[in-house]
Amino acid sequence: MTKNVRVRFAPSPTGPLHIGGVRTALFNYLFAKKHNGTFILRIEDTDQNRYVEGAEQYIVDALNWCGMPADESPVNLGNYGPYRQSERKEIYKKYAEELIASGNAYYAFDTAETLDFHRKDHEAKGKTFIYNWHNRLKLKNALSLSADEVNAKLEAGEDYVIRFKSPQDETLHLKDSIRGDIKIDTNILDDKVLFKSDGMPTYHLANIVDDHLMEISHVIRGEEWLPSLALHYQLYTAFGWEAPEFAHLPLILKPTGKGKLSKRDGDKLGFPVFPLEWKDPKTEEVSRGYKEDGYFPEAMVNFLAFLGWNPGTEQEIFSLEELINSFDLERVNKSGARFDPDKIKWFNHHYMQEQTNDKLSEAFKALRPELSDIDVNYIEMVIALVKERATFISDFWDLSHFFFTAPTSYDEKASKKAFKEGTKDILKEVVSIVNSTEDFSVESLQTNIKGWITTNNIGFGKVMMPLRLALVGALQGPDVFDIMFMIGKLESVSRIERVIDIL
């Protein structure tokens, strides 16, 4: 790629960053790093009415947690700032006036009430109101009014907007890196508002001006922006600027595959749709986050990479570095990607196995107050025995509580299965063997108990099932001899004798 690659992720700080936004940021990040380029975070906060306190910091924190910090951003300044649109608003009026001077835009003075009347009138007739070539001369704007009338209105301080003048009877030939060539008939396009008399630009003008001034080479964004592509191309042409390359990513669909994934889907089916926990500053409602739910950032990134992209091989596990090396926009699909909450759990289970036991033991200890006085090295040994069965750190307690506390009850169904006539005598013999085992190691316990079973021709289940039940309280857990070694001789005997007493 000959030109310097510069991409931007440009969210609005109107609330927590949706998982779809994280996927868009990821694809931008991967593309930039693949081509030794720059990944920019630009905050599009021109609509101050929708601004939510804390949302911008949330976006920064989410990107950092995923391991993809921006090279340039409001907190990591580069040479193309400011990186908040609200701090750039003085820039945009000049460009709006430039479009007026070149005949590509015009002042419009229609009131909200007038436009609302036209919309409702069209709806009543089964039509859609579009402000463009076919009716603009019948409306109140610089194309239907004289120059003196326009100047008088501007000098009087009347409210106005600046609209783009969409051409008539033309066919636009647009190119999208994912969707290929797109043809658009300009007769169906409306004259979009670019600027308002309060001094604020709309998304369309600010977006194009900022992308140009920041030398953005590729615009990689969600397909919800595809309807804006025609206007954006026309704006680049009107300014005489070279347009960046565009790529519109497929939607992330509900787990059913029907419709766009929403927060409601997560609430209904029990999974988060935000990377981090979010507390609404007004309602104080708390929304779950993947981080707080126990997901590893590596699992999140690996999972999101496959929502709309595939490497063309059978490989599914990718580190961030491997994703960077493999990523290619040509392998991004056009069709929507179904969100599978079970698949991200599968990824999390994989990355759980790659975590070091010492790191997991510290996290587990911090999670459970019952472990505050337990030596972290002992916890680490326990985790080594149960990690294979865990998907989340929060799973560890259910998988290992019997290493820390003796059972106070016994699974009823398992008890009926394990405790038979003669079980009491068998367990008394096991106590005797355990007490006489000098070298209290896994190997010695295994040799002594299994040797006794074999010598006396007893079925293994008659011994091992009640023994496990005595130690654990249920027919679960790792190898019985590992459990006995870990809890020690005295505790092993104590637990077996307790079962003998209640049999």
The stretches of 196-256 forming alpha helices (DSSP H) are 203-213, 229-239
> Which H helix or E strand runs over 341?
helix 341-354
The amino acid present at 48, given as its one-letter code, is: Q
* Sign (positive or negative) of CA dihedral 413, 418, 424, 427: negative
The amino acid present at 55, given as its one-letter code, is: A
Is residue 13 within 8 Å of residue 56, measured between CB atoms? yes
d(CA 149, CA 107): 11
Instruction: Check the annotation: does 343 bind a ligand.
Output: no
Q: Is the peptide bond before 82 cis (omega within 30 degrees of 0)?
A: yes
Find the catalytic residue in 263, 345, 417, 450: 263
User: What is the four-CA torsion angle of 275, 281, 284, 290, rounded to 10 degrees?
Assistant: 0
Residue 263 catalytic?
yes
Token pair of 332 as six digits: 């991004």
First-residue to last-residue Cα distance in the chain: 77
Vertex 382 angle, CA 466 and 472, to 5°: 20
Is residue 100 within 8 Å of residue 106, measured between CB atoms? yes
Token pair of 241 as six digits: 């600027």
CA distances from 486 to 21, 96, 472 (A): 46, 74, 12
Binding residues: 263
Binding residues for ATP: 263
Residues with a catalytic annotation lie at 263
